[in-house]
Amino acid sequence: MTLEYLQNYWWLLISVLGGILVFLLFVQGGQSMLLGAPTKERRDLIVNCMGRKWELTFTTLVTFGGAFFASFPLFYSTSFGGAYWLWILILFSFIVQAVSYEYRNKAGNVYGTKTYDTFLFINGCVGCILLGVAVSMFFFGAQFTVSRGNLLDPGSPVISQWASTHGFEAIFNWKNLILGVAVLFLARMQGALYMMNNITDDPDFFNTLKNKALVNGGIFVVFFLWFLAMLCTATGYTVTTNPDYSLNVVETPFKYFHNFIHLWWAGLTLLIGVVAVLFGLLKSCFSNHWTKGIWFTGIGTFLAVISLFWVAGYNDTAFYPSLLDPASSLSIRNASSSEFTLKAMSYVSIVIPFVLAYIAYVWKSMDKKKLTQEELETTSHKY
């Protein structure tokens, strides 16, 4: 295995984890509908439907961060250590989610169920938008610099320096918010489709979810097309290695559009993903009682996300452009771990298909019995 092959392999794994994470955000999408639910019974249905899967989203987010730390540590230290306000807000929103599911219906709950419903709503909205902002920075850049020579300075051995706002500026960058809003409405659409697939005894709620899926899906399509238009016309950085092993960073107009052309399989994957999402959404909303839409939109979401990661990192592309110093931009070549580390972790990654198979088995077992209001009233454990 060469270092370049290992870098490509680990970026592929990062892409897969990113695709799974965005799909699983349907949990957050469902939570974002809580405050609009008219009755306590309806809110209980939403929470317990989403509660079956909330741990998967949380653990996938942690795994995604851990994989970045192990394979591309310079990105991890630059982004997680520099834009800490952005990541702290994301982490906080997921912490209150965990607390809410644990204590929402516990005896002696002094804060009241509505308090925890509000926390879940915050996680559903804030978590989705901020994760979209974080991913958008892969394309539209961030305000940081990297000085590798600082490692030799015992007085200040800090490689990366961030803007004084430490991530706040990224949250209020309108380009980043376009993708953040798209992720939120994608999650809401998929949350509605997932509940249509798992709640069986409430025709009125089913029709409400169908309308929510259509409205939120329409908004998602508008913002996602807006994001794609910005992406295909954006200027990126091409990072190559000179014969003396120094890096050559070149500003490249329409970089990501050229990546879709050069990496034709990435463009094809994106197209298939978009078609699958649209098919799942439209058939769910315009059929009498079709409940399989979540699987088409879920697969489509996964394919679209991994395609975006591919054009962000492959073809000598800087996957984390620096807005302050283009030479500091990070690529999979200059931000990765050593060849030994990547090779050792690659052997461990062989177990990933078995883990995914176990998750699929558990998922199927949990969803074998659909959720009903009667079951919710008689169960000994509910969120």
What's the alpha-carbon Rg for the chain, to the nearest Å?
22
Q: Give the start-end residues of each E strand in 282-366.
A: 318-320, 330-331
Q: How far apart are CA 74 and CA 68, in angstroms?
A: 9
Average pLDDT, the chain: 88
Q: How far apart are CA 249 and CA 262, in angstroms?
A: 19
Which region among 18-22, 172-176, 201-205 has the lowest average model confidence (pLDDT)?
A: 201-205
Q: What is the DSSP string of 138-188?
A: HHH-BSEEE-GGGGG-TT----EEE-TTTTHHHHT-HHHHHHHHHHHHHHH
pLDDT digits (tens, 9 = 90+) for 281-292: 999 999 888 889
CB 49 within 8 A of CB 207: no
pLDDT digits (tens, 9 = 90+) for 208-241: 999 999 999 999 999 999 999 999 999 999 988 7
**DSSP secondary-structure letter at 321?**
-
- The confidence score (pLDDT) of residue 321 equals 94
**DSSP secondary-structure letter at 35?**
G
CB 78 within 8 A of CB 146: yes
Comparing 79 with 244, the larger pLDDT belongs to 79
| 378 pLDDT higher than 90 | no
Q: How far apart are CA 237 and CA 65, in angstroms?
A: 24
Whole-model pTM?
A: 0.93
Distances (CA, A) of 105 to 44, 57, 206, 382: 10, 21, 25, 7
pLDDT digits (tens, 9 = 90+) for 248-257: 888 999 999 9
Of 143, 336, 311, the residue nearest 238 (C-alpha): 311
CB 53 within 8 A of CB 359: no
Q: What is the mean pLDDT of residues 293-312?
A: 96
**DSSP secondary-structure letter at 39?**
S
Of 314, 311, 343, 346, the residue nearest 331 (C-alpha): 314
| 90 pLDDT higher than 90 | yes
| 245 pLDDT higher than 70 | no
| 190 pLDDT higher than 60 | yes
pLDDT digits (tens, 9 = 90+) for 333-375: 988 998 999 999 898 888 878 878 877 887 777 777 777 676 6
Model confidence at 202, pLDDT cuts 50, 70, 90, reads: confident
Q: How far apart are the first and last CA of the chain?
A: 48
Which region among 97-101, 186-190, 260-264, 379-383 has the lowest average model confidence (pLDDT)?
A: 379-383
Model confidence at 125, pLDDT cuts 50, 70, 90, reads: very high
